[in-house]
Amino acid sequence: MPEIQNPSLEAHNLTVIYHRKPVLWSIDFTLPQGQIIGIMGPNGAGKSTLLKAILGLVPLNSGYSKVFDKDLGDVRQRVSYIPQRQTVDWDFPATVMDVVLMGRFQKRGMFQRISPEDKAIAQEALEQVNMQDYASRQISQLSGGQQQRVFLARALAQQADLYLLDEPFVGVDAATEQSIVELLRKMKSEGKTIVVVHHDLHTAREYFDWLVLLNASLIACGPVEDVFTDELLKVTYSGKLTVLSQVGDQLRERNFPVREK
């Protein structure tokens, strides 16, 4: 694996076990800055869990991750997370603007007032995703593509350097997908790093500069032209790793710990 100067994100020996079933096994990788990076793998490969593990949303069983060579807690201001939009209840009593302003909560903390400057930033974020006409719209009235764009606007309002997007193209129409991709490229041109959990192989080569192939363990990580090969994809998507999952099933069934201590 090539040596990377100034990495955006590093994982070292990351292992996550959900209810005794290993979801991520000893993941090690280093990602560069200023690129659009795809995390790909079949269903249940642990793609979303990898993002959550990095953000501390799920407990780690071993390993650690670093963001801009620091602990996440020290650089939280520079990181923005965009969860899958299905994880929230869109019938919540809030307007589009309310949700985008949540992107400013990080900077303002729990008590500082939201200033006119914050509102201007949120407004600009809405313009970037072309949702400025919807600022006062109830979020329950949005389509799937619009919901995704609101989430993106909230992330833009965070003014971060590293963006972690979980499946942003699921249930989104083609036009929205294109406009999101264009926006991501624009963010890249401003020096941002963008990590996207994605599952559509057809668009991978077009969208990403760099690729992480994952199937519970790390298959490959590198520039897209090195990694997006028939051979590696076959390893990722074929059943070659079933022995690994069988061992996982055995551990769970027989109530064995995955690590010996």
Partner 1 sequence: MTSQNLIDFILLREPNVLLVVAGSIILCGMSAIVGCFTFLRKRALIGDAVSHSVLPGVCLAFILTGEKNPLYFLIGAIISGMMSLLIMEGLTRSRQTRPDTAIALMLSVFFGIGIVLLTSIQHSGNASQAGLDKFLFGKAASITLEDIRLFAFSSAGILSIIFIFLRGFTAISFDEEFAVSIGFPVRWLRFALSFLTVWAVSVGIQAVGVVLMSALLITPALAARMWTHSIRFMLFLAMLFGMLSGYLGAFVSYSAPAMPTGPWIVVAATFIAAVSMVFAPNRGILAQWFERRKNTNKTLEENILKLFYQIAEKTGESSKPILEEDLVNYRAFSKSQLKLGLRLLQKKAFIQFHLSTWKLTDLGEIEARRIVRLHRLWELYLQQYLNLDSDHVHDDAEAMEHVITPEIEAQLDEILGNPKVDPHNTIIPPK
**Contacts of 67 by beta carbon, 8 Å cutoff, 6+ apart:** 8, 9, 54, 75, 78, 79, 162
Is residue 95 a contact point for partner 1 (CB under 8 A)? yes
Q: Does 239 bind partner 1 (CB under 8 A)?
A: no
Residue 30 found at the interface with partner 1 (CB under 8 A): no
d(CA 76, CA 95): 26
In the chain, count of helices (H) and strands (E)?
A: 11, 9
Q: For residue 57, give the DSSP letter.
A: S
Cα–Cα dist 219/214, whole Å: 5
The residue from 3, 5, 89, 254 that contacts partner 1 (CB under 8 A) is: 89
In the three-class reduction of DSSP (H, G, I as helix; E, B as strand; rest coil), residue 223 is classed as strand
User: Binding to partner 1 by residue 19, rule CB under 8 A?
Assistant: yes
CB 159, min distance to partner 1, A: 12
CB of 203 to partner 1, least distance (A): 20
Q: Is 257 in the site for partner 1 (CB under 8 A)?
A: no
3 state SS of 82:
strand
DSSP letter (8 states) at residue 92 = S
Q: Which is nearer to partner 1, 168 or 222 (CB)?
A: 168
158 contact partners, CB below 8 Å, separation of at least 6: 80, 103, 104, 106, 107
Contact map string, positions 47 to 86, toward partner 1, x by CB under 8 A:
-----x--xxx---------------x--x--xxx-x---
Binding mask 125-144 for partner 1 (x = CB under 8 A): -------------x-x----
Question: In the complex, which residues of this chain contact partner 1 (CB under 8 A)?
Answer: 19, 52, 55-57, 73, 76, 79-81, 83, 87-89, 92-95, 98-99, 102, 105-106, 110-111, 138, 140, 154, 158
